[in-house]
Amino acid sequence: MESSVKQETQPKPRLIVRLGVFLASHHILFSVICCSAGIIVLLLLPSLAKNTYLSENALIPGSATPLFSTEDAIEANRFMKGIEAADGDSIGGIDMAKFIAQQIEELGAEVCYHKFLPHSKHFHPLKFFTTMSNDMAIEPNGTDTNFGINTVGIIRAPRGDGKEAVVLVTPYNSQRVHSNELLSLALGFSVFSLLSRAAWLSKDIVWLSADSQFGEYAAVSAWLNQYHNPVFPSHSVIFDTKIHGADHIYDGNAEKAEFEAFKRAGTMAAALIFKVGETRRYGDRDSVTMYAEASNGQMPNLDLLNVVHYLAVHRQGFRVNIAAFSSLLSSAWLRVIAEFFHTLGTVLRKINPDWKLDIAVHDYVDGTANLASSIYNQAIGVPTGSHGAFRDYQVDAVSLEFTPTFNVRNENAKSLFLLRGGRLVEGVVRSVNNLLEKFHQSFFLYFLTAPSKFISVGVYMIPFALLLAPLPIVAAALADGSETMKKLAEKSIGDSKTNGSTDFLQSKGGSWKWLQAAKVLLVIQLWAVLVSLLPYYITQIPDATPIQSSVIWAMLSIVILIALYVMSGSPYSAGVEWKLLKATMITSISIGLGLMSIINFATAQLGALIMIPMCLFSRPLKARSGMNFLPRAVLLASNITLAVVGFPPAALLIMKGLSKGSWTVDIGEFWVWMEFLWEWSSATYLYLFLVHLPCWLLCIHVLLHPCSQLELKMKQE
């Protein structure tokens, strides 16, 4: 009687609550559907890609007839002969810089040298994202003559106001000059000489011939650092006097001393890095490869890529490539998926002609290879070239690598190549020069599936959102499930006890039970932070090999973990239920992934692919369930595989094995890899240690959970 009244008076919960309860009760089905849908959409991405288009009307690429003529190509050839001669009697590449400077000066442009030291990167956990700090001022040893010289030429736009500048970069190695580097220098010079006579410039032109003996990126970033964050207290003076090599350049010529002063143009509007790669003998057309990924998955504005692509393909007849995973191109399973999507697409097309999902098999495979490389390069968070240095200063930049198909001896073919390359660069400069505002119209968040196809943020977010969607539901279901189970258990234990005492029990151990799980989570997070900071101290050890370092790292991590357990008690001793533990873990990774997707989406996407199944599958190995042997075995096996794959060193090993085919275990490799990540201050490092590693450890905890005492008690009862 009483209960019936209660039921009657119980107000109907609101729709959203009911929906939540419904989803939670079917959480397994829901998560299976969402995850598989997420993976399917991810695979569908290549067919969802759209063609690129120019958003900014001011760019009008290719509307002007290129002025770069055969005379400029001859000029380039002349320059090449000159610099070859200069290189012949060079001492450490200084004569080359001198020759370039002299040539620039003859054009009537301003010129200056920029000297820099190799930049040794250290792990500074506190300055992780702000590595543009002024740690350039490494005290050079008195005998250190090993420094690079960038030669910078600046054209002041005849009628411009000098507020903005366009930067052209040609890297070359002053120590060992290849003929293709000379070719790229010659190309750069001939374009620069053309621009020095151009009356239409409205932005200044800066030509940086970057001395890449310490790497292209180092040279460009050193110059950019000096451009944006110069250090005044005595830096340049000491620098000059201490470096002995400085005397070579000037031979006491006082007039040239003005080359010393660092010269600047205005705010940079865009930068174009171009170099000539190895010449090929085969292939029908000269090709250009575009590299755009900067640090932490930042991309330049899509319009810049569009301009380059449009001019290269439709005006100069280059073939434009982007980086691709070539191993995927020949993989059979990808072809099967492509066939499947193709047939599916044709069927859908018949239903509704507006659904254009039927992508040709070849296109799909190509698109996937490009997309995979695009996602991978963004996820690693390391720039793919010196354009990354520009992006650190919010300058849109793209690297072009020309791959000409001619014999170096063939002068005619070389001139033709120079002509087309020069026209391409001139056209891009012209377009950027037309801009009134900085690049802002087009996309900044996109993946490329082909040079002229892209997937914008609105589309590529869908698979990630689908993968992430079940997490809160599952967490809620687990938390709820553990509570109801406990209630049942309590009821069965204390049937005779009064109502009041059960209430008391519940308030004590029941609704606050999750705090125990949260404590475990916090301890593990703390451990992860400490582990991520350890390399800072390990790098201080002099002369440590990577293997030693990584062993020390692993040992210290384990010691810290044990110490933390000793201090705060073992996770199992407090009697934490595995369901609650799993629920907290899932909550924490959904927060972690959500945050990471803002910092670097690609990392979060790849991480979600590994971690979300790992978390959802995880259950104690000892846990009993009413399942048959086969499903249980499958569950166990998948649990163990996912746990192995989820461990970062193991994942690295598998990746290496898959890509190179060598399965040798090298412990030092992991250290080298991590070093690589923090040297480039990639957020992927933080992700690995602050989100991925604690989650993996929690998974292991869940797997090894000795199962709840309550359950045992229930059994005993």
Where on the chain is the footprint of another protein (CB under 8 A)? Answer: 8-9, 11, 75, 78, 103, 106-108, 132, 156, 158-164, 193, 197, 199, 228-230, 232-238, 261, 264, 266-267, 392-394, 436-438, 440
Nearest residue (CB) to another protein, 72 versus 366 = 72
| Residue 65 CA from chain centroid, whole number | 38
**Closest to another protein by CB, 86 or 478:** 86
Smallest distance from another protein to CB 193, Å: 6
Phi, then psi, of 209 in degrees rounded to 5: -95, 100
Is 224 or 398 the residue whose CB approaches another protein more closely?
224
Minimum CB separation of residue 253 from another protein in Å reads: 15
Across the strands, what pairs with 36? none
Shortest CB 5 distance to another protein, Å: 9
Shortest CB 168 distance to another protein, Å? 17
Which residues make beta-bridge pairs with 399? Answer: 273, 291
Q: What stretches of 49-69 show up as alpha helix (H) in DSSP?
A: none
Tokens of 467: 């993968």
In the bound state with another protein, the residue whose beta carbon lies nearer, of 112 and 338, is: 112
> Which string of DSSP letters, residue by residue, matches 65-78?
PP---HHHHHHHHH
Pick between residue 362 and residue 440 the one whose CB is nearest to another protein.
440
Question: Residue 214 CA to chain centroid, in angstroms?
Answer: 22
Of the two residues 110 and 366, which places its CB atom closer to another protein in the complex?
A: 110
Beta strands 267-276 and 164-172, pairing class: parallel
Angle between helices 693-703 and 578-599 (to 10 degrees): 160
Query: Which residue is listed with tokens 């240095």?
Result: 389
Angstrom distance (rounded) from CA 382 to CA 677: 7
- At 318 the three-state DSSP class reads coil
Q: Which is nearer to another protein, 240 or 339 (CB)?
A: 240
Beta bridge partners of 456: 446
**404 vs 422, beta carbon nearer another protein:** 422
Residue tagged 């033709």 (tokens): 416
CB 681 within 8 A of CB 599: no
Please report, in angstroms and rounded to a whole number, the separation of the first and last CA atoms in the chain. 31
Question: Which of 264/349 has CB closer to another protein?
Answer: 264
148-155 and 110-116 beta bridge pairing: antiparallel
| 18/491 with CB nearer another protein | 18
Residues 189, 434, 161, 195: what is their CA dihedral angle, to the nearest 10 degrees?
20
Nearer to another protein, 394 or 410 (CB): 394
| Between 103 and 373, CB nearer to another protein | 103
Min dist CB 33 to another protein, Å, is 26
Between 266 and 569, CB nearer to another protein: 266
- Which positions ≥6 away from 619 have C-beta within 8 Å? 578, 582, 635, 639, 702, 703
Nearer to another protein, 154 or 697 (CB): 154
The residue among 2 and 495 lying less far from another protein, judged by its C-beta, is 2
Smallest gap, in angstroms, from Cβ of residue 605 to another protein? 23
Give the SS3 label for residue 253: coil
Q: 112 CB contacts (<8 Å, ≥6 apart)?
A: 151, 152, 154, 258, 259, 260, 261, 262, 263
Of 105 and 711, nearer to another protein (C-beta) is 105
Between CA 156 and CA 545 the distance in angstroms is: 50
Euclidean distance between CA atoms 541 and 527, whole angstroms: 22
Question: What's the CA angle centered on 421, arms 223 and 68, to 5 degrees?
Answer: 100
Nearer to another protein by Cβ, of 236 and 506: the residue is 236
Please count the other Cβ atoms lying within 10 Å of the Cβ belonging to residue 658: 10
Q: How far is CA 292 from CA 45, 206, 278, 515, in A?
A: 20, 20, 20, 46
Q: What are 150's two structure tokens?
A: 């960038």
| Number of helical (H) and strand (E) elements in the chain, helices listed first | 28, 11
What's the min distance (Å) between Cβ of 198 and another protein?
A: 10
> Radius of gyration over alpha carbons of the chain, in Å?
31
Bridge partners of 453? 51, 450
Q: Closest distance between another protein and the C-beta of residue 166, in Å?
A: 14
Minimum distance, C-beta of residue 362 to another protein, in the bound complex (Å): 36
Which residue, among 207, 180, 237, has the nearest Cα to 104 in the 3D structure?
207
Closest distance of CB 162 from another protein, Å: 5
Token digits of residue 709: 């005492």
Q: How far is the CB of 302 from another protein (least distance, A)?
A: 15
The least distance separating another protein from the CB of residue 411, rounded to whole angstroms, comes to 19
CB of 237 to another protein, least distance (A): 4
What minimum distance in Å lies between the beta carbon of 58 and another protein?
10
**Residue found under tokens 């066939």:** 339
What is the closest distance, in whole angstroms, from the C-beta atom of residue 108 to another protein in the complex? 6
As given in the structure block, the two tokens for residue 699 are 């998974």
Q: How far is the CB of 471 from another protein (least distance, A)?
A: 20
Question: Coil, helix or strand for 105?
Answer: helix
Task: Give the count of beta carbons closer than 10 Å to the beta carbon of residue 64.
Answer: 13
Q: What token pair was written down for 257?
A: 């001393």
Which residue, 121 or 438, has its beta carbon nearer to another protein?
438
The residues, ordered by sequence, that sit 6+ positions from 372 with a Cβ below 8 Å of its Cβ are: 324, 325, 328
Beta bridge partners of 207: 153, 168
* Min dist. Cβ of residue 674 to another protein (A): 28
The distance of closest approach from Cβ of residue 223 to another protein in the complex, given in angstroms and rounded to an integer, is: 14
Among 682, 509, 566, 584, smallest CA distance to 128 is for: 682
